[in-house]
Amino acid sequence: MPVKRLLVSSLSGDPIPDGTGARIRIMFNDPERVDMRADLTDEEAAKLAKQYKAEEVEPRPDRRQARRMRM
């Protein structure tokens, strides 16, 4: 029997439809602390970004592109 996985928000527990939502990853400089991840709905992510005045960043090029760009 097929199993359908349902993604839910880490903050509110609301379901996140396919193709929407955001994932936030928190990485600590201290090696003893564990990285954390949170799945959010689009609305929660927008509210959080606005609250903390987050800025949009360009995705990093993958390794192959980065190597080709070096001279």
* Domains, in order of start, for the chain: 7-55 (3.30.60)
Tokens of 42: 């689009």
Sorting pLDDT into bands at 50, 70 and 90, what band is 15?
very high
30/42: higher pLDDT: 42
> Which residue has better confidence, 6 or 62?
6
Question: Per the confidence metrics, is the pTM higher than 0.75?
Answer: no
Better pLDDT: 19 or 71: 19
In the chain the first and final C-alpha atoms are separated, in Å, by: 54
Tell me which long-range contacts 27-34 makes (C-beta under 8 A, separation of at least 24). none
Residue 33: pLDDT above 80?
yes
